[in-house]
Amino acid sequence: AGKKVNFSRPRAYGILQEIITKKPIIDVERAKYFTESMMETEGEALILRWAKAMRHVAENCTVYIDDKQLIAGRVGCEGRYGILYPELDGDFLDLAIEALPSRVESPFEISDSDAKIVINDIAPYWKGKTYHEALANALPKETLRYTFDPSDPMKSRFIVNETSSFRSSIQWVHDYEKVLQKGLKSIIELAESKLAELDPMSPVDQTDRKSFYEAIIIDCQAIIHWAKRHAVLAREKAAAESDPQRKQELIDMAERCEWVPENPARDFREAVQSQWFIQMWSRVEQKTGTIISNGRMDQYFYPYYQKDIEAGKLTDDDVLELFECMWVGMAQFIDLYISPTGGAFNEGYAHWEAVTIGGQTKDGRDATNDLTYLFLQSKREFPLHYPDLAARIHSRAPERYLFEVAETIKEGSGFPKLINDEEVIPLNLAKGAKLEDAYDYAVSGCSESRMPNVETYTSPCAYINFPAALEMTMYNGKMRLHGDEQIGLQTGDPREFKTWDEFYNAYMTQQMSFLKHAFIQQHTINNLRQNHFAWPLGTALNDTAMKAELDLHTTHIPGGIDLGYFELMGYGTLVDSLCVIKKLVFEDKKISMDTLIKAMENNFEKNDVLCKLIENAPKFGTNDPYADSIAKEIDRTCLEFTRKYSKQLGIHLDLRLVPFTSHVPFGKVVSATPNGRKQFTPLSDGASASQGCDAKGPTAVLVSNYNSKNYDYRERASRLLNIKFSPVTMAGEEGTEKLVNFIKTWCDLKLWHIQFNVLNQSTLVAAKKDPEKYKGLIVRIAGYSAYFTDLSPDLQDDLIARAEHTTV
């Protein structure tokens, strides 16, 4: 939609054209070499085993330089590729290899010979050893029932759903600046000096500390070795090249790969190559949910850019071309989820390694610079949903920045997403950060913030299906999908309840029981992960972990700020449903509980009168105080719970509303809800209004969010907010002005995140019908964007159903 594609730089388009329609392939090398090494090192410290496994991969994996590329290195085969992490969920491997090529959500191909390697050489070693199996064994029975199907723990329940079994870490951001400025050799030197100082008689020094520093050295050396293998390949390719221009490009590339990331980058091109090696290698080392984000690129690249521009060594066009080469490289990597749960959470081959721009400097000044604007230009021009561009907004953001951000959003592919400094920074401070670190946060994953070097909590957390708690209130602890199984508490037959209070207390009992199980789950996960995962690279790049001499996955790292979360799924669905019950059943007595339940059991078929009543009931997202006060109370009860119990876990476990695409699978387990939502259809997403219920316009959605937040609790975190505008509303300069004002209102209201789709509903309907014609159509989903035609029909329908605003 509407991209002003710049064809004066054809290089990256060429690569893009070749890869875009290719079905992703599973590359088994990482899993194969990782497994080979892990077989050899049993009994050693885990961080050391991990580092040795990385070395084995670095020494043996195929290295790649694409024909037209200016940046060397990929971590998988030609086209689009995904890699495997058997240590995490290898118990799914057999199943996955069979099912992946035909999966509806994000299918993958695998060659017959690679499938044999997976089935014969990789999967058998991990059977009985994976994290996923260990978790199913470790969860208390009561909690397991809410998490996995007790008769088949391979199946998630989407009730109180853990997410740690399909990613070994949450979204994360490295301190890339450290590598660019000092090189990996500075970390190796530090570790070597620590090793030299170890007390030869100390049992701790000679075991834990020795393994720790050896692992750091081995891991950094592995990355350097891998980089140098690219230098060798580049020289080989240069020798065989007849085109003098390409020959020179390859020779330059070889020189860069010989120098970085071992040494400090000397110019912009080296800085880009160095950053690329680190972000690529991160993918090999760890299955990070949503991938390692790229941090504040307009800040840490800027000194190199400025120096080269001043020296006349670089033009803005060169910079844009390099960025484009990076974006296609990112798009070639696909975040492969082999478990059905992971696949459902991350539809559309989702990964969003956010590139942060704008915001404030460490001393609280506006941080925008010339590179900020080049990132925005690149986003407007290059027809790809990578990078996941995230613009930090603050109350003194320059008009030019807001204007260009708005213009970029209008181009139609949903970028950049916006994150609000006025909400994030005070919360970072309230959770114990120093001012300079709080100002210097980078956007991470869909909508989160990370303070590299300060944060140390990497554990994926619980997604909680609140409409399922409501369903259990309606059916005395049961869910229609699960028949007679008593999953939840018996809170009574709601037909017997005489007052709203009685109903609400029953609901709260279910909700609090869900929270209890989520926290038990999290406690179990926090303690378990360190036995299964290590992360030498993440550790090497995190000052707090290095100071503590502990792997970043250690349950507690002294001096770190531990920011976890739990997810409120289906907020709009829940609030609208509670409004129906409170107002129509108990206050106005327009319908009886029995009628409502029967209508729900009947999936609201042929019940126009009731549906009309429900349609006119108060709705979240319409700036209706009735609905917003219920929403605020639900929010508060969650915050109160975590205020009390997260201390026992020794972390911040904050309330978040960030669904990825999981509101679709979560909806698939919930039968019809009192708000008229049909059975097994998607829940509302994030902090958005229920599908089709934001008829009062997007400003009302903002105000409802403002009114339902509890600003006196620091236990809050991201609320993800999707807004869809029709292109006509945003047309011309007047439209841009409207959008800028809308963004300013959002900033004033201290809402955390917002993202826009500027698309006609009719375009989406047409794309669903005729996918071939709309192959390049990019849509914003939930904190990230994807090709519309890569999505499942369920998610496509959900996007079509999200209201499209023609007014502000």
- Chain residues binding ligand 8X3 by CB under 6 A are 170-171, 289-290, 445-446, 448, 460, 658, 783
Helix %, strand %, coil % for the chain, to 5? 55, 10, 35
Least distance between ligand 8X3 and beta carbon 462 (Å) = 10
Least distance between ligand 8X3 and beta carbon 286 (Å) = 12
DSSP 778-796: EEE-SSSEEEGGGS-HHHH
Alpha helices in 241-369 (DSSP H): 244-259, 268-285, 297-300, 302-310, 316-332, 340-345
Residues 6+ apart with CB under 8 A from 112: none
Least distance between ligand 8X3 and beta carbon 448 (Å) = 5
Q: Can you list the positions of beta strands (E) in 397-492?
A: 417-420, 442-444, 448-450, 463-465
CA distance 7 to 176: 31
The answer to whether 428 and 778 are in contact (CB under 8 A) is no
Least distance between ligand 8X3 and beta carbon 718 (Å) = 8
Closer Cβ to ligand 8X3, 229 or 417, answer by number: 417
Closer Cβ to ligand 8X3, 73 or 665, answer by number: 665
Least distance between ligand 8X3 and beta carbon 346 (Å) = 9
Closer Cβ to ligand 8X3, 75 or 461, answer by number: 461
The answer to whether 637 and 659 are in contact (CB under 8 A) is no
Closer Cβ to ligand 8X3, 15 or 446, answer by number: 446
The answer to whether 746 and 702 are in contact (CB under 8 A) is yes
Sign of torsion, CA 263 264 267 272? Answer: positive
Closer Cβ to ligand 8X3, 29 or 448, answer by number: 448
Least distance between ligand 8X3 and beta carbon 171 (Å) = 4
3 state DSSP class of 33: helix
CA distance 148 to 41: 32
Sign of torsion, CA 304 308 310 311? Answer: positive
Alpha helices in 118-267 (DSSP H): 123-126, 131-138, 141-147, 176-182, 184-197, 210-240, 244-259
Sign of torsion, CA 147 148 150 153? Answer: negative
The answer to whether 217 and 188 are in contact (CB under 8 A) is yes
Q: Is 257 a catalytic residue?
A: no
Angle between helices 46-60 and 29-40 (to 10 degrees): 130
The active-site residue out of 220, 446, 579, 747 is 446
Closer Cβ to ligand 8X3, 520 or 717, answer by number: 717
For ligand 8X3, the nearest residue by Cβ is 445
Least distance between ligand 8X3 and beta carbon 289 (Å) = 3
Q: Is 446 a catalytic residue?
A: yes
Closer Cβ to ligand 8X3, 173 or 593, answer by number: 173
CA distance 543 to 546: 5
CA distance 221 to 219: 5
The active-site residue out of 324, 448, 455, 804 is 448
Least distance between ligand 8X3 and beta carbon 288 (Å) = 8
Closer Cβ to ligand 8X3, 262 or 423, answer by number: 423
Q: Which residues are catalytic?
A: 446, 448
